Chains A and B, each alone.
Chain A
Amino acid sequence: MRDDAVDVALKIAGSIVRPLVYTTLSLPAVIVVASSFTAGDDLRFPPEGFSPRWYMAAFKSDMFMGSLWTSTKLAFVTMVLSLTLGMAAAFAIDRRSFPGKHAFRTLTLSPLIVPMVVLGLGLLQFLAWMRLNQSFLGLLIGHVLITLPYVVRTLNAGMVLFDRTLEQAAMNLRAPPSKVFRRITLPLLAPAFVSAGVFAFVTSFGNITLSIFLGFARATTLPVQIFAYVEHNYDPVLAAVSTLVIVVTLGMIAIVEKLVGMEKVA
């Protein structure tokens, strides 16, 4: 391979850009975690001393703990519903032929390309007409809507790799369909289920753009609470609460990494 000036320049540029990108991508999370352990009274960098006092403050705050619970509950129910609906859609797309299949697939994926602020206003207006606004149900509907495309896409990707002769073999051995589904289909699709479920959970847990339209006083999710708090206050308790969000998110990613491997998600 010839090495000339352009190549050297490319190599150098690449070796500068790559570390810079990785640093920038992790910077906000790292800084938040680092400044959450400050002993001082305000958010500054470098933090003053080391103390868990802001975590104590966060755990004592009903406001933050209440919204953490709301977010967790919402993310869990969203995950279950989204997996159920998504599994039905993914099976229909993968296994059946029906008229309008392409349109159906596009429809299930389309919440991804509609700007979330547009979805938010549309849903808010619709829920208000149905008298469902300011309800946990409304918030839940919105979250299922935005997680559904990820679930369908991940499950479909898993089904493409699925060897269907295994099911046929089980049926040849006279296993009833329910048993084939339970013993063959589900275990083989388990990795896709895990990644789809985790992705739905994490997306719902962290969502702010839609929750800010659909949330209300009695169901404030943690991201919305952080957003509302930061508009008027700016203190290390926010860093502690944000670190909790980072820990939950990283924990969920670790589950996928452990069970499935990062390669499959990306």
Chain B
Amino acid sequence: MPVADATRSPVGAGGRAAARSDPALLLLLLPPLLFLLAFLVVPMAGLLRASFSEGSRPYDVAGFSLQHYARLLLDGYYLGVIGETLLLGLASAIISLVVGFPVGYSLARLAPAKRRLRLVIVILPLTLSLVVVVFGWLVVLGRNGMLNSIMMSFNLVERPQRLLFNRAAVLVVLIQQFLPFMILSVMSVVTQIDPALEQASANLRANRFTTFRRVIIPLAMPGILAGLTLVFILSASAFITPRMVGGARVQMLGSLIYEQVTSLLNWPLGSAMSFILLVLTLLLTMGVNMALAVRLTSTRAEQHAR
């Protein structure tokens, strides 16, 4: 009943009719759509299915059981790992904000010519292979590394210290890797803030700190939240860094998944861990987006009230 449809919802039916009569659109739409359905949606559905399976070997997908989730959510060890993952993710996100904000802000206010080299420095860790970055840190923090030789030459320590294989080292390396995302997202929102607003605030005798708190931070909030989410997701799902820098002492969900898949070959348990990680990160993303939506609508409501 295309005619009846058209009278009821002209927009939707119009769109559908357009899709049907537009072979070019199908040609554009189908290849990426099929690719994503086949290699993103279907594998994720398969992963969900495997996480509820009864077996505990690769390809072993049969029956239905909650045993893997029960094991992960009732066992103190796994709960500890989940807690550590969340904690490291949050710490990395918050520290990134504190040190990344001033950098992003100053980049946004710099003249383009001065910005160039600094932007290359910021973008390099994002584009450079993770394994090279982590290897660089091994050379910096290793027993014969740069930090130890600096500390020894200043007689701060007598013999090389073990700086690797602890939580602090993992945190430093995670922050170094993902800080650029924070810097770039702060930079991109601050670029949109008209400097005249800051001058106006200064003319009204607000000091820099007040201007910062009352003008810059509220306007930069979308960028801050986007940066926080991104750094949290990336840090919480890290596994190369905890493995190479943290060793056996720092366990994160990502490294456990990798271990389950490659050496213990318990794919269903690995799938269940993956889903827990996915749900935790998605919940946070959704929470942040909702908070942002509420904030934006409420400020608009306030403006109307005035």
Binding site for B on A (CB under 8 A): 1-4, 6-7, 10-11, 13-14, 17-18, 20-22, 24-29, 31-32, 35, 42-46, 84-86, 88-89, 91-92, 96-99, 104, 107-108, 110-111, 113-126, 128-129, 141-142, 144-145, 148, 199, 202-203, 205-209, 212-213, 222-224, 226-227, 230, 234, 238-239, 242, 245-246, 249-250, 252-253, 257, 262-263, 265-266
Q: Are A230 and B32 in contact (CB under 8 A)?
A: no
Q: Are B32 and A148 in contact (CB under 8 A)?
A: yes
* Stretch in B12-20, B71-79, B217-225 touching the partner: B12-20
Q: Are B31 and A121 in contact (CB under 8 A)?
A: no
* Sample (24) of A-B pairs whose CB atoms are under 8 Å apart: A10-B208, A17-B99, A21-B100, A24-B176, A25-B121, A25-B176, A43-B144, A45-B144, A45-B145, A99-B12, A111-B40, A114-B40, A118-B237, A121-B271, A123-B43, A125-B271, A145-B35, A206-B129, A206-B132, A223-B131, A230-B135, A246-B128, A266-B122, A266-B187
Tell me the dominant secondary structure on chain A's binding face.
helix
Counting CB contacts under 8 A, is B161 at the interface? Answer: no
Q: Are B116 and A2 in contact (CB under 8 A)?
A: no
B180 and chain A: residue at smallest CB distance: A25
Q: How far is the CB of A79 from chain B (nearest CB, A)?
A: 13
Most chain B beta carbons < 10 A, residue from A25, A26, A141, A144 = A25
Q: How far is the CB of B215 from chain A (nearest CB, A)?
A: 13
Q: In the complex the two chains form, what is the Cα distance from A4 to B123 in whole Å? A: 35
Q: In the complex the two chains form, what is the Cα distance from A126 to B47 in whole Å? A: 8
Most chain A beta carbons < 10 A, residue from B25, B36, B115, B139 = B139
Q: How far is the CB of B195 from chain A (nearest CB, A)?
A: 13
What per-residue 1/0 map shows which CB atoms of B204-241 lie under 8 Å from chain A?
Answer: 01011100100000000000000000000100110110
A27 in complex: contacting residue of B16, B115, B138, B140, CB < 8 Å: B140
Q: Are A96 and B136 in contact (CB under 8 A)?
A: no
Q: In the complex the two chains form, what is the Cα distance from A88 to B209 in whole Å? A: 48
B137 and chain A: residue at smallest CB distance: A28
Q: Are A31 and B124 in contact (CB under 8 A)?
A: no
Q: Are A209 and B29 in contact (CB under 8 A)?
A: no
Binding site for A on B (CB under 8 A): 12, 15-16, 18-19, 22, 25, 27-29, 31-33, 35-36, 39-44, 46-47, 50, 58-59, 99-100, 102-103, 106, 112, 115-116, 118-125, 127-140, 142, 144-146, 149, 176, 179-180, 183-184, 187-188, 202, 205, 207-209, 212, 233, 236-237, 239-240, 244, 254, 257-258, 261, 267, 270-271, 274-275, 277-278, 281-282, 285
Q: Which chain A residues lie closer than 8 Å to B133 at the CB level?
A: 28-29
Q: Are A115 and B47 in contact (CB under 8 A)?
A: no
Q: Contacts A88-B29, A99-B12, A118-B278: A227 and B131 contacting too (C-beta < 8 A)?
A: yes
Q: In the complex the two chains form, what is the Cα distance from A245 to B275 in whole Å? A: 33
Q: Which chain A residues lie closer than 8 Å to B43 at the CB level?
A: 119, 122-123, 125-126
Q: Are A246 and B132 in contact (CB under 8 A)?
A: yes
Q: Are A27 and B271 in contact (CB under 8 A)?
A: no
Q: Which chain A residues lie closer than 8 Å to B59 at the CB level?
A: 125, 128-129
Q: How far is the CB of A197 from chain B (nearest CB, A)?
A: 13
Q: Contacts A121-B257, A122-B43, A123-B39: A266 and B146 contacting too (C-beta < 8 A)?
A: no
Query: Can you list the 8 inter-chain pairs with the closest CB atoms, starting with the nearest?
Result: A28-B136, A115-B237, A206-B129, A44-B144, A126-B43, A122-B43, A89-B32, A45-B146
Q: Which chain B residues lie closer than 8 Å to A44 at the CB level?
A: 144-145, 149
Q: Which chain B residues lie closer than 8 Å to A45 at the CB level?
A: 139-140, 144-146, 149
A263 in complex: contacting residue of B47, B115, B145, B205, CB < 8 Å: B115
Q: Which chain A residues lie closer than 8 Å to B19 at the CB level?
A: 98-99
B201 and chain A: residue at smallest CB distance: A1
A117 and chain B: residue at smallest CB distance: B254
Q: Which chain B residues lie closer than 8 Å to A20 at the CB level?
A: 99
